[in-house]
Amino acid sequence: MDEKKKNIDDLLADLGVLEEAPVEVGLKEAGKEERPKSPKEVLEGFLVGLLLRLDPGYHVEVRQEGNLLKAEVKGGDLGRFIGKEGRTLKAVEYLAGVVLAKHFGGEYRVVLDAAGYRRRREERIRKLAEEAALTVELTGEPLPLPPMRPSERRIVHMLLKNHPKVTTESQGEGEERHVVVYPRDKAPPGTGKEA
């Protein structure tokens, strides 16, 4: 990377995230219009540009399923790319969503994964929810789960939504927001709603 381009604003501008990105001027052949890029091409362009700056060993595969774009990062040091508790992965996913929103509005959603991290994390959340439901069934006492991201809390709520003996409620604010699993017969009013 160029020595003069070390701050994050310069990097994001080069990748088309910030408005200050330089406008590319090029000559067009007479009679040839530049074809608009598809959401998949825009996402691939952003991710490849970012990944090459981080580690040339990374590569990305993007699939489009309707309005959902799923990208899988492979190669390189994926632990570093995922980051502690998936924070780096989540941040890049957020930036990728910003890039797509800039080009297409809020029409498309991005799910970014690396080395199957998201799938494994979802499996752990499901297992935690099932174990919590069993514990609450046996003890008859509410059980608070550790703080989770909204998407992770949603997995718990959806998994236990139709459970005959337990229900769920999200409690807390911000980073401390978590799910509490209650016995269905001792649940406070309004539980069983997603949050």
Give the torsion sign (CA, 139, 142, 148, 150): positive
pLDDT exceeds 50 at position 26: no
Same domain as 105, residue 60:
yes
Instruction: Give the predicted TM-score (pTM) of the model.
Output: 0.68
Same domain as 179, residue 133:
yes
Same domain as 97, residue 146:
no
Give the pLDDT score at 76.
84
Q: What is the mean pLDDT of the chain?
A: 84
Give the model confidence (pLDDT) of 72-115 as tens digits. Answer: 999 888 888 898 888 899 899 999 999 999 999 889 999 999 98
pLDDT exceeds 50 at position 8: yes
Give 3-state DSSP helix, strand, coil % of the chain, rounded to 5: 45, 15, 35
In a domain, 188, yes or no: no
Q: Is 101 exposed, middle or buried (0-12, 13-18, 19+ CB in 10 A)?
A: middle
Mean pLDDT (whole number) for 154-166: 95
Residue ending a domain, choose from 115, 139, 171: 115
Domain interval for residue 149: 119-183
In a domain, 94, yes or no: yes
